[in-house]
Amino acid sequence: MVKILSDVSLQSSTDDLTVGGTITGSGKTVNLVHGVTLQRTTNLTMNTSVDASATAITWSSIVDESTLYDYWSTGSTITLPETGWYSITCHLLFASGTGYAARLYCIVNGVIVAESETQAGANTTADTLVLSTIVHAAATNTVVFRASASTASKVITGAGRTRCSVIYIGNDT
């Protein structure tokens, strides 16, 4: 075992450092944020159910994912790789119409942790619904976004503008 008594400064031409195992210490950590941003590229019809019975949003593709962990591979489930705090956001674009509301739910390990509802606007060709929350979760917990509308046959539009992000922001232990 090597004990270092002062701050460490590693100089290399690439500023790369690879460590196997766990790094512990005191002070602050910078630039270790990781996560995933996903998008839908095709339309998805929402049901009229509420809460955990709303339509699960299946994602089409990854916009960006850190290379540190795999959060998502297919479908609607995002798996959290580490215990800690996560910034979770979702933005839906839903089809036009009036007289109905659209709902969006963020469910972590089967529990609704955030929800949002928006009334469809009268003067738009498409409406947006946004949800943002910060959650403390355990490693291997899952995140699923679900959406519904108060009127049948309403659609979440694709075109890559329906997106979600799950970003690890750290742990307090």
pLDDT band for position 173 (cuts 50, 70, 90): low
Q: Which amino acid is at 152?
A: A
CATH number of the CATH domain containing 136: 2.60.120.40
pLDDT band for position 127 (cuts 50, 70, 90): confident
Residue 40 lies in a domain: no
Q: How many domains does the chain have?
A: 1
pLDDT band for position 28 (cuts 50, 70, 90): very low
Average pLDDT of the residues in 13-37 = 67
Q: What is the pLDDT of residue 13?
A: 64
Residue 65 lies in a domain: yes
Q: Where are the beta strands (DSSP E) in the chain?
A: 34-40, 44-45, 55-56, 61-65, 78-79, 84-95, 101-108, 111-119, 126-137, 142-149, 155-156, 162-170
pLDDT band for position 171 (cuts 50, 70, 90): confident
Residue 126 belongs to what domain range? 48-170
Residue 52 lies in a domain: yes
Q: Which residue(s) pair with 40 in the sheet?
A: 162
